[in-house]
């Protein structure tokens, strides 16, 4: 049983490393503001088109930036959940014999 728990922990660490390599995106205003993050929810880039930036007021820019960040983080959640669900199913398949089933 201990070996299976260690294998599960190792698999979780591998998933975390893999999620660091997956990029997700959030954008608003037709791409005028783009946010890039890893699937582990680390923001890696924020891009604002020069023309949009020049014409937007501060409040609008802040609100749209928050929306773009939240979209990227929502995508990160979705990718992470999908990865974890797949890993859990594969782990449970391997643990099925532990409970006399």
| 36-66 pLDDT per residue, tens | 999 999 999 999 999 998 998 999 999 999 9
State the DSSP string of 14-69: HHHHHHHT-EEEEEEGGGTEEEEEETTS-EEEEEE-HHHHHH--HHHHHHHHHHHH
**pTM, whole model, 2 decimals?**
0.78
- 79 has pLDDT over 70: yes
Say if residue 95's pLDDT is above 60.
no
Give all domains of the chain, ordered by start, each with its CATH number.
Answer: 14-94 (3.30.1310.10)
* pLDDT band at residue 33 using 50, 70 and 90 as cut-offs: very high
| Residue entry with tokens 């070996």 | 3
The count of C-alpha atoms lying within 13 angstroms of the C-alpha of 58, restricted to the half-sphere facing its C-beta, is: 0
Selected residue with higher pLDDT from 2 and 74: 74
């Amino acid at each position: 049983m201990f070996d299976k728990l260690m294998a599960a922990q190792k698999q979780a660490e591998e998933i975390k490393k893999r999620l660091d390599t997956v990029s997700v995106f959030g954008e608003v205003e037709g791409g005028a503001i783009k946010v890039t993050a890893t699937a582990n929810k680390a923001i890696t880039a924020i891009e604002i088109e020069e023309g949009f930036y020049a014409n937007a007021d501060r409040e609008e820019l802040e609100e749209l930036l928050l929306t773009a960040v939240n979209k990227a983080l929502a995508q990160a959640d979705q990718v992470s959940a999908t990865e974890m669900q797949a890993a859990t199913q594969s782990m449970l398949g391997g643990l099925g014999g532990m409970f006399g089933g």
